Amino acid sequence: MIKTYFYNHSEQKMEHDMDLRNVHEFLRSNEDLLWIDLYNVSNQELRMVADIFNFHPLAIEDCLHHSPRAKIDNYEDYYFFVFHALRYHEESDTEITTVELNVFVGPNYVVTIHKRPMLSIGKIAKVSLKSKDYMNKGADYLLYSIVDGITDEYFPILDRISIRIDEIEDEMYDNRMEEVTEEFLALKRTLILIRRVILPQKRIFSPSYGQDPFPIQEQNLPFYIDLQDHLERIADSTETFKELVNSALDTYYSIVSAKTTEKLNILTLISTIMLPLTFITGFFGMNVPIPFQHSGYETLAITFFMIGLAVWMWWYLRKKFM
């Protein structure tokens, strides 16, 4: 599916669903802006758009294959970006997945390519059908709006992860070791994936040697500064959550170790008490003549002696070692 949106600066109005064969007529003025959104298109349609704008084959190859990291490539006439949105499914086996977005940004055009629906793209497209709010400030502002929408989707995920950490910290005293360990490891995998996604995107928008990585109009600089702040907050939050998970996991293993030690102490105590009792029963159970073996009080005396010995050893060992 190919959707087109065109902002005519001279007439201050929006148009959409233009004929791509006449695309160069829409690119005559740098004040106009053309946005082409390609959703789940075939390779033939993608290469058709690439031929129209003369995109580099390496950039098209990146669009055809999954790119694991966000990046920016400068092709002089345009810039090529790779971003990733996150999809969080807590109850699924694959708890968190990524949705790749490829973006070409020229002086007066933006081309977005994605295989799965994206909330930020859908929101901007819906508004652009009726309003010029996203299209009248230049290609850099449209790019900011798209990435800002992707970034805003991270915050609910981080909020849910924070709640999950609190829940696991409360439950780790009661649940079985396998369940708690599995929860902790799932959270660690989720945080690692978020960091792997967010850190390259943060570097894209971080000024290098005081210069922006791609041209940004002065009027749009505050928006990118705000975007950098959001990315920094997300990166800091993931680092904090990672430390919390590691600390909670260490605490949980300490609790498990303490419980195991306590159980071993009880078993050792029982074994220590049973050792002399076993010796006594073994000694008097020998098939040889022993004193008082015909007396009826012998069994009672031995029994009471063993009970008293067991009680005394239990009291002494608890007082001495526990």
CATH of domain 1-133: 3.30.460.20
Rg (CA), the chain: 35
Give the per-residue pLDDT at 209: 43
Over residues 136-195, the pLDDT tens digits come to 888 888 999 999 999 988 888 888 888 888 887 777 776 666 677 777 788 888 888 888
For residues 180 and 252, the answer to whether their CB atoms sit within 8 Å is yes
Q: Is the pLDDT of residue 296 over 70?
A: no
Domain ranges of the chain: 1-133, 267-321
12: left (phi over 0), alpha (psi -120 to 50) or beta: left
| Max CA distance (Å), the chain | 123
24: left (phi over 0), alpha (psi -120 to 50) or beta: alpha
d(CA 15, CA 317): 88
Q: Region 240-253: what's the mean pLDDT?
A: 80
Over residues 37-56, the pLDDT tens digits come to 888 888 888 888 888 888 88
The first and second tokens of residue 186, run together, are: 């799932």
